[in-house]
Structure 1
Amino acid sequence: MGQALPVTWVRVTDVERITPRTARVGFTADELPALLEDRPDQQMKLCLPRAGQRTPRLPERHAEDPYGMRWYEAFLAIPEAERPWMRSFTVRSYDRQRNVMAVDFVLHGDGGPAARWGAAAKAGDVLGMVGPSSLYARPLPAARRVLLAGDETALPAIATVLEALPAGAGAVVFAEVADAAEERELPSAAHGAEVHWVHRDRGGSLVQAVRGAGAALDGVDAAWVAGEASAVRDLRRHLVEDRQLPKSTVEFSGYWRRALTQDDAPTKEDLAWAAERAADAS
């Protein structure tokens, strides 16, 4: 795989409501076989049309711009009222025989552009896709028993990590969702993973659940944590400072920020977080 950042048009093949608040959307494109790899946690961005648009307005991509810098400048130059919403997603699965990529849309009650689009998606709809690229692939830490923790936005990635665990590796999962209706089957049987669901309607939170896990985390020697940024920060510090996991064994990613969107400028906390992540990777 090359390291250029691709820009592709993807077309909806099917839509399935897998839980009351999650729509699983199938996408296809001729370019998918060359873009998608057999690895977990493949992240990309989808470009969603603005109101009144049937398809998003995107700049053309040029071969002499392999890293997409000029493309992104041209993207930002599109008037805001016409510029597509760009949101981050994880590839849940890819069926090479059908050439269909599955992506889960969390239908938040906040009416954000991704939730609105996902709730109304139908076969034939077209979006732009930026990535995925092996340039941004982060290998999973080697572990005998790994902790996987996240909210519903992290469930697609958690499922792919479980599927990719080597033989003999164990896992414990803590997953925060709105209520019991949002639970779903995870590929845990092959590795004997323990799955703990945390329900917000019962007052539960991911941070409290992991901090109070006690012996459930015995033997954990690596962790993968993703979801709301402040929760991820809290858990990462808990795992490193309290559980004494080496920083290099804790993979973490803030997928979204409470009361902010991906269109908002980074806060001081975001910048400090990015610097800390870069320092850990060096």
Structure 2
Amino acid sequence: MGGFMAKVKAPARRSMVRAEVARTARTGESFVTLTLAGPGLADFEAQGFDQCCRLFFRREGQSELAMPTASHNGWLAQYLLMRPSVRPWVRNYTVRAFRPEALELDIEFALHGDAGPASAFAARARPGEPVGLFDEGIGYLPAPDARSQFLVADESAVPAVLAVLESAPEDLVARVLLEVPHPGDIRDITAPPGVEVRWLHRDGRGGVPGRLALHTAMSTPLPEGPFYTWVAGESGLATGLRRYLVKEREVPKSHVSFLGYWKHGRGGVG
């Protein structure tokens, strides 16, 4: 996932981490989870919620995974100076789960054929495939006075919402809209009792991801009192819902976190 992140809580410390694919599992008609493992994960600091990382992986034909070495934002300059023949792909992904005792980390991918390098990588990944990780922090930053929350996502951000709900306190009150491509992507999830989850599916008809979630969110009654909105996915969903809430419903900008993970018809860094 490329795109923009409106505001992020950066990690206290971070470094380039090397790992490898340990196993894969299908978690829906359009989803696959890769479990990454390796001693390098001892340096990973889990924060929960929608913590995201830069994921580095090989382009087809590359025999080795070359990675930047900087432990700060200078990594990007290093990356861009790499020869095209050795430069890996890099995309943003949510940490779905981290098990420090086993040095294992899960990342869940929304598959969309060979339309993007990350989707193709996740679909073909096998145990032993090398990867790199660089922590980017958390974009889920609820307003202190929020009495409830409104979480909206297309398939690219479904793993982030599920991670948020699993990290949430038991007294969380929230309305959640999750858009997915197929009915087979709907699953039972773990959430506090005050969370109302509504799945939306496109029934495999295609179209621009996020449009269904955006139109549904704009016609859904908003929570009463001060509430916090977290919306992520295709940039049209993120910016469209923020614009609607701030301009038409007079929600304070400070109460909306919007994260454009990707833009329809355009790739990310790399």
Same fold (TM over 0.5): yes
1:218–1:196 distance in 2 versus 1, CA, 3 Å: farther
Equivalent residues in 2 for 1:62-81 (5 A)?
66-69=71-74, 71-81=75-85
| Aligned-pair Cα RMSD in Å | 2.3
| 1:96 CA displacement | 2.3
Number of equivalenced pairs: 255
From 3, 8, 22, the equivalent of 1:13 is: 22
Cα separation, 1, equivalents of 2:28 and 2:158: 12
Alpha-carbon separation, structure 2, partners of 1:2 and 1:154: 20
**Equivalent residue in structure 2 for 1:144, among 138, 142, 147:** 147
Runs of 5+ consecutive residues of structure 1 not aligned to the other structure: 265-282
Distance 1:19 1:220 in 2: 35
Assess, with a 3 A threshold, how the Cα gap between structure 1 residues 220 and 162 changes in structure 2: closer, same or farther.
farther
2:217 is aligned with what amino acid? V
Equivalent position of 2:201 in the other structure:
199
Counterpart position of 1:253? 259
Inter-partner Cα distance in structure 2 for 1:109 and 1:13 = 22
Match of 1:187 in 2: 190
- Residues 100 and 168 of structure 1: CA distance in aligned 2, closer, same or farther (over 3 Å): same
Q: For residue 81 of structure 1, report the CA deviation from its aligned partner.
A: 3.5
Q: How far apart, CA to CA, are the structure 1 residues paired with 2:230 and 2:27?
A: 24
Aligned AA (1:160): A
Paired amino acid for 2:72: Y
Cα deviation for residue 141 of structure 1 reads 2.5
- Cα distance between partner residues in 2 of 1:23 and 1:82: 27
- Maintained 8 Å contact 1:211/1:238: yes
Aligned residue in 2 for 1:277: none
TM-score, length of structure 2 as denominator length: 0.85
Give the 3-state SS of the residue equivalent to 2:174 in structure 1.
strand
CA distance in 1, matches of 2:79, 2:172: 43
SS at match of 2:96: strand
The aligned amino acid for 1:206 is A
Partner of 1:271 in structure 2? none
Of stretches 35-44 and 222-231 in structure 1, the one that deviates more from structure 2 is 35-44
**Deviant stretches of 4+, over 6 Å:** none
Helix, strand or coil for the counterpart of 2:35?
strand
Q: Which has the higher contact order (CA 8 A, sep 6+)?
A: 2
**Aligned sequence identity (%):** 30
User: In structure 2, how many angstroms separate the alpha carbons of the residues matched to 1:145 and 1:139?
Assistant: 13
Contact 1:144/1:221, CA 8 A, preserved across alignment: yes
Relative to structure 1, is the Cα distance of residues 66 and 224 closer, same or farther in structure 2, using a 3 angstrom cutoff?
same
Is the 1:55–1:125 contact (alpha carbons within 8 Å) kept by the matching residues of 2?
no
What SS is found at the alignment partner of 1:116?
A: helix
* 1:273 equivalent in structure 2: none
Residue 98 (structure 1) shift: 1.9
Look up the SS of the partner of 2:171 in the other structure: coil
